[in-house]
Amino acid sequence: MKLLLTLALLLPALTGLAQTTLTNDGSTLTVEAGAVLYVDGAVVNTAAATLTNAGTVQLTGDLTNAGALTSAGLLRFSGTTNQVFRPGAASIANLTLDNAGAAGQRTLSIPTDLTISGQLVLLNGLLRTAPAGAATPLATLTLPVGASLSGEQAGRYVQGNLRVMRDMSAATGAVDFGNGAALTNPAGQSLGTVTVTRTAGLSAAGVSFGQSMAGANKGIDRVWTVGASQAAQPTTATPATLTVSWTSDDDNGINVSALVQLWRGASAAGPWAPQGAPAGAISRSFTANISQLGAFTVSNASAPLPVQLTRFTTTAQGPDALLAWATATEKDNDRFEVEASADGHRFQRIATVAGQGSTAQPQHYQLVDKNIARYAASSVYYRLRQVDADGTFAYSPVRIVAAPQGNPAVLALYPNPTTDRAAMLSGAQPGAVVTVFDAIGRQVLATTAGGTSAASLVLPAGHAAGVYLVRVDSKFLRLTVDK
């Protein structure tokens, strides 16, 4: 075999030629077209060095670049244990992974972003865009328009972020992105350059797989995030068609023999809404029409990802606050417990709104919280506690409403009635003595209002449901404790 190695500097500038690490320390190393540089070990290209490859560089160890690395030829990783490629500011055309190590010892990790402009070929092993064994920090491997991927199958695929770009400005029929996604343009529309980023194989909730608010149900360990350069988007009237596929490595516990469902979310963290109808996916492939781009995943139709909260807003309406929220779908949703806080830390339940159980139809809810000046705070904080039929629960994001200013403080108790012997008193003067009496006049609690004009009232254990009187100076309020 003819080996062409052109060294722009003297050989002594290259150290480690007879060792397990080849270090290019300040030299220019050129591998000509048709030549093969084989290193039984690692390669280090230091900050002052240049490595130009128009042929093949094959190595069994790690490749670390801190200088100038330009490879229009082929980088071939052929170790038998885990390898790491730290590309730095490299320009890479073609990469082949042929790691023949045992299971758990055949991963090529690429911990920083890398673009491969030509061909990525997987013959043996896993390629992971994150440190070995970790889900973060997560890098992205990008295949721009014209680049290709081949060889993915069970036990041999890209874990982490794999971004593939395709020109769909005039494409008709399904365009295969090569990362388990195929997309058709909406009828008569151009999507321009479309990017599909697949995040897979990390076993990370909200990153590589979706799950319900309560965390009980989850999808496959793959999420595809689809975006387009053109403003035109699919609609209900002109949908696009998306086909996704995955390997058995990423089943993530779902039953592929049962019906599955395609889901769309704003991101891998959801919220999720169903796309198309449930169908079988024994071949680990699923197709559905989509009316909007975004993040997509798959889960069993019998154990869907939601309750999916798609909207939660709070707005001031005069002296009151209007809370409104909506769900795309619900699964075993028993209720929403509405909670409020004067400081954003200590929340109390002020109302309970019944859920719709299980439904695939969007649902809308609202609640008016009267006279929010009673919180004696400049802002009032709200959140939803969604509770499933089995008692599991999850919290929504917190929303804030500015309270009316300039009104005299009004004494108020909330929640009232209460079901857990606890309530908040607002509107009292700081330092005011607050006393609670039972129905026959016995004192059961005494405290003082704090600097926020509020006091937390928690009746001692053992006190029965009923009506209690709360005295603040010379004023009385009625507190009802339900069972």
Which H or E run includes 355?
strand 348-359
**Residue 205: strand, helix, or coil:** strand
pLDDT band at 287 (very low <50, low <70, confident <90, very high): very high
Please report, in angstroms and rounded to a whole number, the separation of the first and last CA atoms in the chain.
Answer: 88
User: What tokens appear for 204 in the block?
Assistant: 């990370």
Model pTM? 0.64
Could you tell me which CATH number the domain at 412-481 has? Answer: 2.60.40.10
- The pLDDT assigned to 16 comes to 40
* Spatial CA neighbour of 444 closest among 427, 425, 421, 424: 421
> Averaged over 153-161, what is the pLDDT?
95
DSSP symbols for 79-114:
-SS-EEEE-SSEEEEEEEEE--PPTTS-EEE--S-E
- Percentage of residues in the chain having pLDDT higher than 70: 89
User: What tokens appear for 314 in the block?
Assistant: 């709070």
Q: Using an 8 Å Cβ cutoff, are 96 and 116 in contact?
A: no
Q: Is the pLDDT of residue 345 over 80?
A: no
- The pLDDT assigned to 18 comes to 42
Average per-residue pLDDT for the chain: 86
- The pLDDT assigned to 14 comes to 41
- The pLDDT assigned to 473 comes to 82
- The pLDDT assigned to 13 comes to 35
Q: How many Å apart are CA 299 and CA 464, to the nearest integer?
A: 46
Put residue 231 in one of left, alpha, beta given phi > 0 → left and psi -120 to 50 → alpha: alpha
- The pLDDT assigned to 46 comes to 96
pLDDT band at 7 (very low <50, low <70, confident <90, very high): very low
Q: Which residue has the tokens 């988007």?
A: 233
Half-sphere CA count of 162, side-chain side, radius 13 A: 25
pLDDT tens figures, 60-89: 999 999 999 999 999 999 999 999 999 999
- The pLDDT assigned to 367 comes to 94
Q: Is the pLDDT of residue 275 over 60?
A: yes
β-strand pairing of 422-426 with 454-458: antiparallel
Q: How many Å apart are CA 9 and CA 46, to the nearest integer?
A: 14
- The pLDDT assigned to 406 comes to 54
pLDDT tens figures, 425-434: 877 777 888 9
- The pLDDT assigned to 6 comes to 38
Q: Which residue has the tokens 């997987």?
A: 122
Q: How many Å apart are CA 159 and CA 135, to the nearest integer?
A: 10
Q: Is the pLDDT of residue 322 over 60?
A: yes
Among 76-90, 169-183, 282-296, 319-333, the minimum mean pLDDT is found in 319-333
Other C-beta atoms closer than 10 Å to the C-beta of 479 total 21
> Averaged over 447-451, what is the pLDDT?
77
pLDDT tens figures, 190-231: 899 999 999 999 998 889 998 865 566 789 999 999 999 887
Pairwise pLDDT comparison (382 vs 408), residue with the higher score: 382
Q: How many Å apart are CA 193 and CA 81, to the nearest integer?
A: 38
Superfamily of domain 309-402: Immunoglobulins (2.60.40.10)
Pairwise pLDDT comparison (358 vs 317), residue with the higher score: 317
* Spatial CA neighbour of 274 closest among 242, 244, 254, 296: 296
The residue ranges of every structural domain in the chain are 5-300, 309-402, 412-481
DSSP symbols for 110-140:
--S-EEBSSEEEEEESEEESSSTT---S--E
Q: How many Å apart are CA 477 and CA 435, to the nearest integer?
A: 11
- The pLDDT assigned to 302 comes to 64
- Say whether 412-481 and 309-402 share the same fold: yes
> Averaged over 138-166, what is the pLDDT?
96
- The pLDDT assigned to 8 comes to 32
Q: Is the pLDDT of residue 164 over 90?
A: yes
pLDDT band at 303 (very low <50, low <70, confident <90, very high): low
Q: Using an 8 Å Cβ cutoff, are 14 and 32 in contact?
A: no
